[in-house]
Amino acid sequence: MNSASSGLNNLNSSPTASPDSGGAPSVGPVDSGLSDPILKTDFWVSIIKAESQHGCANVTSTAIDVAQQPDSSGVWVEDWSVNVCGKDTVFEVTFTPDPKGGTNYNVKQK
């Protein structure tokens, strides 16, 4: 899964809560990691949308840890710890600078 703007596959739902969605809408991610605020928000929205499609809008960021510092090409890895409707989950996110501008990311669940 990768994209500079949507990060996760099958993102068609909005991040709003509904009575059967498992809770209140999410707030933003914790303030850590190497991503700038725009990139962090783009990725966070993709998590919320993906989990919303699975019936959960109660998504809380609990930690962002840098798993790999930027290499010579600028690629770095962060582990995003997230509580999804009461279940702790970690997403490994690889950020890759795009030579045309911006940053792409690739995510997998640990």
Q: What is the pLDDT of residues 45-91, one digit of tens each?
A: 999 999 989 898 889 888 999 999 999 999 999 999 999 999 999 99
Q: What is the pLDDT of residues 26-35, one digit of tens each?
A: 566 777 789 8
Q: Is the pLDDT of residue 100 over 70?
A: yes
In this structure, the number of other CB atoms found within 10 A of the CB of residue 53 comes to 14
CA 32 to each of CA 13, 18, 56, 75: distance values in angstroms, whole numbers, following the listed order: 27, 29, 24, 17
Mark 69-103 as b/e (b = at least 16 C-beta within 10 Å): eeeeeebbbbbbbbebbeeebbbebbbbeeeeeeb
